[in-house]
Amino acid sequence: MIELTSITGLRGKVEIPGDKSISHRCIMLGSIADGTTEVHNFLQGADCRATIDCFRKLGIEIENNGSSVVVHGKGIHGLNAPSEILDVGNSGTTTRLISGILAGQPFDSKLSGDASLNSRPMRRIIEPLTRMGANISSILRNGCAPLYISPGKLTGIHYDSPVASAQVKSCILLAGLYAEGETSVTEPSLSRNHTELMLKEFGADLHSMHELDSTKATVTIRPCQELYGQKITVPGDISSAAYFIAAGLLVPDSEIVIRNTGINPTRAGILKVCEDMGADITLLKQRIEGGEPIADILVRTSRLQGTTVEGDIIPTLIDEIPIIAVMAAMAEGTTVIKDAAELKVKETNRIETVVDNLKAMGCDITATDDGMIIHGGKGLHGATIHTLLDHRIAMAFSIAALVADGTTKILDSHCVDISYPTFYDTFEGLL
């Protein structure tokens, strides 16, 4: 538990830890590539540590010296049968992506995680993998992990995904590496494309296409015999930067620079929403590193207005909705968030956790079936925040606490370890 009160004048520069999505993918692709993969600015959050543990159990030597990691890849067919169950912890990304790789292996494996993970929907990967010829089942027959995967002969399919989910897309593409023929995935709108960018860097035969006059995006992969180890510097995670963007905008008399942040357009929807809300944000030193766009983000205290967040932008900011809701609570006027039913199947049901906690802080907010409606600008007061061990709820409401009257208690605040172990230290650096 942590107790926080309001502050003014956040000033300075912050360095954000490595991107969680990219860090997972470095371990996975590094493990099935030939040669070593050297990863700098690797995120040492619990989710990414779970991915390292799983691949170690699959026989991969992975050196972890703090922020840099060296993966001694054993090639596309080099994984060994695990002698124990693979513990995926709280990580949906680990579970869904590794399942695509495991579906193509000549050995059995079992995956299980914590209570939250084991209640999240896995039919969304079981169904397409089964169509490819994989043998994957939910051990408790409830469509969730624990999962059991045994050898199957994979054939490429075309999958028209009902959800814009990078985890589903990546799972199928990784299985496609082991399938006969071509595998393609069409999603209703483009979700984060780190798997595609990184697979290309590692030498996979892959191409992406946007349909004309439609938001649909298709990616196609052909099986391959070899991937090649890479040297990767992971950009700062925009999902983690989002808390400091919000803090810089909301806390009076603030000016902060958030350095080396990934601004891949499939992730940077929050910047567009901030612009729509009237935020004073400038992107400095824009550049491309390792195929990923990066910038330093200068943020100054701003008067925000309500906005509508809907449609194709949703997948590009899905993890930022809790902090966007906090900004909306402090903004003048009404903010409507819709088309975001996916929030219900994150680490918690984030429509409920966001609405319940903002209500506890005095916000005029209503849950809807696919989002929420927030009547902002009436101020927040301190409250006890029930994070339900959801890291993004802990961090979003820590920022709300900085602009609320009175004291806010964040229960189970240690859960920030999932994606941002040094979150509260970064904060102190700005005070």
Q: Can you give the binding site for ligand S3P, defined by CB under 6 A?
A: 21, 93, 165-167, 170, 191-192, 318-319, 342
Nearer of residues 319 and 417 to ligand S3P, judged by Cβ: 319
Q: CA 429 to CA 424: how far, in whole Å?
A: 9
- For ligand S3P, the nearest residue by Cβ is 21
Q: CA 90 to CA 347: how far, in whole Å?
A: 8
- Please list, in sequence order, all residues whose beta carbon lies within 8 angstroms of the beta carbon of residue 241, skipping any fewer than 6 positions away: 16, 258, 261, 297
Nearer of residues 245 and 251 to ligand S3P, judged by Cβ: 245
Shortest Å, Cβ 43 to ligand S3P: 11
Nearer of residues 21 and 41 to ligand S3P, judged by Cβ: 21
Vertex 379: Cα angle to 375 and 385 (nearest 5): 90
Which burial class, exposed, middle or buried, applies to 411 when counting CB atoms under 10 A from its CB (0-12, 13-18, 19+)? Answer: middle
In the block, tokens 């958030």 appear at 258
| The two structure tokens encoding residue 134 | 């994989």
Inter-residue contact 82 to 58 (CB < 8 Å): yes
Shortest Å, Cβ 166 to ligand S3P: 4
Nearer of residues 167 and 254 to ligand S3P, judged by Cβ: 167
DSSP β-bridge partners for residue 18: 236
Residues identified as active-site: 319
Integer angstrom CA distances of residue 69 from 37, 49, 283, 326 = 8, 11, 29, 35
With CA atoms as reference, report the closest residue to 299 among 320, 283, 322, 310: 283
Shortest Å, Cβ 342 to ligand S3P: 6
Shortest Å, Cβ 159 to ligand S3P: 14
Shortest Å, Cβ 77 to ligand S3P: 24
Nearer of residues 264 and 307 to ligand S3P, judged by Cβ: 264
